[in-house]
Structure 1
Amino acid sequence: MQGLVLDTEQKTAFVKDIPIPEPGAGEVLIQVYTVALNPIDPLYVHNPLGATGRTVGSDFAGIINKLGEAVPSTSGLKEGQRVAGFLQGACSVNERPGSFAEYAVAPWDLVWRVPSTLSFEEAATKNLCGLTAAQAVFFRLGLPAPFTWKGKEEEDRIRKWAKKEVYFFIAGASTSVGMYAAQLVRRSAEVNGATIRLLGAASKQRFSLLKSEPYGYDDLVDYRNNDWVEHIRALTGGKGVDFAYDCISEGNTVKTVSETLNNSGNMAIVRSREGNAWNAEDLPVEPIYGAVWEGLGIEIQYQGFTVPTSPEARAFAVAFFKWLSEGGELSANPVRLMPGGLDSIVKDGFLLLGPGSMEDREHTRTESWMRPISAEKLVYRVGEWN
């Protein structure tokens, strides 16, 4: 098969013929139809942690080609089943292959069944960003989830927030993670009848989209305006928000977003202090960070810090994907279907996403598909399929 393979010395990736993997016990072999790009994909190609030869990439959708041993008959999975999921790719020191290839292997309980009403292009967008948003809203910040994952403790959460008025602020509302987070906040309100006032910061050009379904923001501020923090606080009667989610977490955004919180508020972020993405001090609360890879239930090794194995985080990920399999209401993010296949990802998709921060996304290309990214997910088709 063909796969997009890391070249550590050149700090790039190239398409290469590699063996089709075999599924182990409890795994499934997927013929990959589509892949979606995330900023972490080019980040760890331009700043490699793994060794040359690793298949890169995270998000995928396709069909099951083969079931490994010990996949339970109650899973609902079978050969030819439409599924989607995510892998770690070259995003750590660990030697684990990614998804940007014609075939990929994944644990059976960390893929979800894609309905026929959803395209493979749309399905590929839901995995990593959807789970990242769910981890922040439910697993880290503690809002009740629309699926069961902790038994009585989850019931207690529902009772705690029942019929209360809650202010939830999302910075980076038009990012892929932010767009899923908004939907999940709405799902949480439906669980217990809480009134959740959803506030966000984004480009003014995206206000109409974000105020419509399925996002339903109550109010939005233009992040380019210097007084947007004051405006957010004014919308809460001066008290500040109960929860904030910084979907950018670069430079001074963490510090600025923390200024929207009330005295007992809490916030989650998408980048860690250890990775030097931000270094704001004197914050009113320590932001909650956790890598999406925790959902894989394995220890993740970076250069300088380690994310430990978390059975609880894996159980949450399994419950989230089960919810998606059973028709959980989470609309796919808008798709920008990119031309070409695996061989176009580096020269086009990675160039658009940039090698690091949002400020790195500058280029001089003029093709229509190379326009700046906003409220869209880059998706490529892989191999030949109908």
Structure 2
Amino acid sequence: MKAVVQERFGPPESLRLRDVDLPRPGAGQVLVRVRAAAVNPYDWHMLRGDPYAARLLGGMGLTRPKSRVAGIDAAGVVERVGAGVRGFGPGDPVLGFCPGAFAEYACASAPLLVPVPADLSFEQAAALPMGAVTALRGIRTVGGVRSGQRVLVNGAGGGVGTFAVQIAGVLGAEVTAVCSASNADLVRSLGAAHVLDYARQDFTDGGERYDVVLDNVGNHPPARLRRALAPRGVLVANGGGSPGRVFGAIGTMLELAAVNAVTRRRLRPILPATPDGPAHEDLLAVTALVEAGQLAPVVGRTFSLARTAEAVRHVEEGHARGKTVITVS
């Protein structure tokens, strides 16, 4: 089968399309024929081995990538199931966390897959797992957003942000979206009551205060971000860091802890959803929102499998609109 492989840590251009052996599903696993795969910041962090601290913690390999085939978010059709798998059979359309998703076939743990909602294309379905689950956790679980609250989403036009705007709206919040002028109409269509152009307005200037701020960008230090919070507001920091940083999101968490020690405001980190943690209930929750017509994936650009390096570079540059998706077959 064809797969996008990474033999070493490096830039997106180090990815190569190669012929590799078809994976075999083990006990509790499902072999998925991948139809589409989404690109996340997680992918280029894994590709570059960034942050370095994560290498020491064993999350991505020490001197070379832990997983030879890149990618994690996928949607496709069940090809085969391993021993002990119940609820899935050949031909079932599924989405979820599939390590090695940038390939024609990938194996996933059965609990990390859910059925594709009716009327979604595979490209739309692939956009859901990491982006929508991270947004759900940031807005509902960590942020604790309630009806009537004022919520600001920084990076509202991106992969997590477009989901977060919708989820906050579903919970009854008044949403302010921070994004580029080119994405203003998009985020309004998703339910944002107010839109700030980050090139013209700084939401941390203290002029407005919010009950919850979800920061998907990391372009302001926590001490400045708390200026945008109401007296008992909550800042939810989604990851952070950039290529080559030693600590990345780990450094962000330490910084938040230091600020928390001297303020009544609550500054809480959230790491993006990954296949290493519990995700089944969150996947079911976001697909239920889709089926209820309350959540819609925004697919900004699509690339072929052969152009995966270009797709990863597009996301790494930080201005991708909605989700970037690779069409596999």
The TM-score by the shorter chain falls in which range? 0.7 to 0.9
Q: 2:314 aligns with which of 352, 358, 375?
A: 352
Deviation at 1:345, TM superposition (A): 1.0
Q: When the two structures are aligned, how many residues end up with a matched partner?
A: 300
User: Which structure 2 residues correspond to residues 297-312 of structure 1 after superposition, within 5 A?
Assistant: 297=277
> Aligned residues: percent identity?
24
2:292 is equivalent to residue 292 of structure 1: no
Q: Are the counterparts in 2 of residues 61 and 124 from structure 1 also a CA contact under 8 Å?
A: yes
Distance 1:86 1:26, change over 3 A: same
Corresponding residue for residue 336 of structure 1: 301
Out of 61, 78, 83, the residue aligned to residue 94 of structure 2 is 83
2:183 corresponds to? 206
**Secondary structure of 1:259 counterpart:** helix
Distance 1:344 1:247 in 2: 26
Whether contact under 8 Å (1:246, 1:253) holds in the other structure is: no
**How far is 1:293 from its partner?**
4.2
Does the 8 Å contact 1:246/1:269 carry over to 2?
yes
Give the corresponding residue for 2:244: none
> Which of 245, 249, 267 is equivalent to 2:235?
267
Over 6 Å off, 4+ runs? none
Q: Which residue does 1:4 correspond to in 2?
A: 4
Structure 1: tracts of 5 or more residues without a match = 88-96, 144-160, 190-195, 234-239, 298-313, 359-372
Matched, 1:68 2:82: yes
Aligned to 2:57: none
Which of 184, 209, 213 is the matching residue for 1:244? 213
Contact 1:29 / 1:103 at 8 angstroms: preserved in 2?
yes
How far apart, CA to CA, are the structure 2 residues paired with 1:10 and 1:221? 35
Describe the shift of the 1:242–1:376 C-alpha distance in structure 2 as closer, same or farther (beyond 3 A).
closer
Say which of 58, 66, 73 aligns to 1:59: 73
Alignment of 1:69-218 (within 5 A): 69-72=83-86, 75=87, 77-87=88-98, 97-143=99-145, 161=146, 165-189=148-172, 196-212=173-189, 215-218=190-193
Show CA shifts across 1:68-117 (max 9, x none).
Answer: 22222xx3x22101111124xxxxxxxxx421111111122221211341
Deviation digits for residues 237-283 of structure 1, max 9, x if unmatched?
A: xxx21111001124x25444321101111111112584267558756
**Is the 2:235–2:267 contact (alpha carbons within 8 Å) kept by the matching residues of 1?**
yes
Paired position in structure 2 for 1:91: none
The structure showing larger relative contact order (alpha-carbon pairs under 8 Å, at least 6 residues apart) is 2
**CA–CA distance in structure 2, aligned partners of residues 200 and 255 of structure 1:** 21
Q: What is the TM-score normalised by the length of structure 2?
A: 0.81
Structure 2 SS opposite 1:123:
helix
> Contact 2:157/2:187 (CA < 8 Å) preserved in 1?
yes
Query: d(CA) in 1 for partners of 2:162 and 2:207?
Result: 19
Write the letter of the residue equivalent to 2:230.
Answer: N
AA at the equivalent of 1:3: A
CA 1:82–1:206: 2 relative to 1, 3 Å:
same
Deviation at 1:292, TM superposition (A): 2.8
CA contact (8 A) 2:300 2:320 kept: no
Change (3 A) 1:294 1:39: closer
What is the CA distance between 1:27 and its match in structure 2?
A: 1.8
- Amino acid aligned to 1:70: G
Letter in 1 for 2:154: A
Q: CA deviation at 1:165?
A: 2.5
Cα 1:294–1:10 change in 2 (3 A) is closer
Letter in 1 for 2:211: D
Q: 1:126 to 1:230 in 2, by over 3 A?
A: same
Q: Could you tell me the TM-score, scaled by structure 1's length?
A: 0.70
Q: Distance in 2 between matches of 1:255 and 1:332?
A: 33
d(CA) in 1 for partners of 2:129, 2:138: 14
Deviations 1:338-376 (A, max 9, x none): 2x32x3111x2133233xx74xxxxxxxxxxxxxx4423
Q: Distance in 1 between matches of 2:151 and 2:276?
A: 28
